[in-house]
Amino acid sequence: MPKKLKAGFYSLACCEGCEIVMFDLEENFLKALDFVEIVDARLFNGKHPGEKLDIAIVEGCVESEVDKKHLLEIRERCKYLVAFGACATIIGIPGIRNALPKEIQKKLKRKAIIPVKDKAFPISAFVKVDALLQGCPAFTHEILDVFVKLYHGIVPKLEEVPVCSECRERENPCLLFEGIPCLGPVTYAGCKALCPSERAQCIGCRGFTEDGNFEALRKKFQEMGIPKKEIYNLFTYFNPDPFTKKMEEK
């Protein structure tokens, strides 16, 4: 049996919810420990902080210079870097501040942290990311999958499938016909259409697909009579505004 993978969990600006979700794995978590050794993690009591890593799992976004420094240091130490959860992959909730007007943004400033350009950034803005684990919180079965794949030397790749695809597999009626604005057509699947199956709209926590036809979806929302402000809020809830230029690298 080859050597165990050395893994570390790190949190930048976030709620640390994704890491806590790891406990949902229950006995599978113990099974994973057969081939993964957690060397550096606050929550899992990692015993060897600062060691070289095979996999670094980073949750949270970059908001301050401290986060940025920490992230660059992690990247130096690891072989594969996995972005864990919505904040790390697409900025998620902390990214709401990016869409706020300037006056409000100024009030958000705190003395203790040195902000990076007054904005929140996904980690891919600063470092190369090898694999993405989307969702808010991330889905635990997917992290197991990433562990197993990396253990066998395969770097997992995202499949660009929209939520609608899985929603139809679950035989749900479409929410767009009920006047509920749903971001399913432009959001990455993998959640098995969790929200639409409970008759709640998809809010795009797994990130927008590259292929999504945002213009057509916005037009559809307008035809449904959704106010402009609400449409804007929905599109910028978890993701950077798809209608403006993509977030530039710093």
Partner 1 sequence: MQQNFLLKKEKLGEFLTALSKEAEVFVPSLNENNATCFLPYNSQELYLAERTQYSPKKILSPPLEKEFIFRKKSSSFEIEHLLDNKKRVFFGVRSCDTHAIKVLDKLYLEYFTEDKWYKAIREDLTIIALQCSKPCENGFCQSMGTDKPVGHDLLLVEKEKSFFVEIASERGEQLVKKYRDLFNQTNFTKPESKFKCSKELETTNLKEILDKNFFHKKWKQEAKKCLSCSSCTQVCPSCYCFLSFDKFILNTGDSERFRAWDSCQLKRFTRVSHDFFFRESRESRLRQFVMHKLSYFQENFGFPLCVGCGRCIMVCPVGIDLTEIASTIRGDSK
Interface residue list for partner 1 (CB under 8 A): 28, 31-32, 34-35, 144-145, 148-149, 152, 159-162, 164-165, 167-169, 171-174, 176-177, 184-186, 197, 199, 210-213, 215-217, 219-220
Between CA 56 and CA 38 the distance in angstroms is: 10
- Residue (56 or 189) nearer to partner 1, CB: 189
CB of 240 closer than 8 Å to CB of 90: yes
- Residue (93 or 148) nearer to partner 1, CB: 148
Strand order in the sheet with 36-40: 36-40, 5-11, 53-59, 78-84, 131-133
46: left (phi over 0), alpha (psi -120 to 50) or beta: beta
- Residue (32 or 41) nearer to partner 1, CB: 32
- Supply the minimum distance, in Å, between the C-beta of residue 70 and partner 1: 31
CB of 39 closer than 8 Å to CB of 6: yes
- Residue (115 or 242) nearer to partner 1, CB: 242
How many other CB atoms are there within 10 angstroms of residue 150's CB atom?
22
- Supply the minimum distance, in Å, between the C-beta of residue 97 and partner 1: 29
- Supply the minimum distance, in Å, between the C-beta of residue 110 and partner 1: 41
- Supply the minimum distance, in Å, between the C-beta of residue 170 and partner 1: 8
Between CA 90 and CA 202 the distance in angstroms is: 15
- The percent of the chain in helix, strand and coil, each rounded to the nearest 5, is 40, 15, 45
- Residue (103 or 210) nearer to partner 1, CB: 210
Among candidates 188, 181, 4, which has minimal Cα distance to 86? 188
- Supply the minimum distance, in Å, between the C-beta of residue 27 and partner 1: 10
- Supply the minimum distance, in Å, between the C-beta of residue 213 and partner 1: 5
- Residue (112 or 177) nearer to partner 1, CB: 177
C-alpha torsion sign, points 115, 121, 122, 128: negative
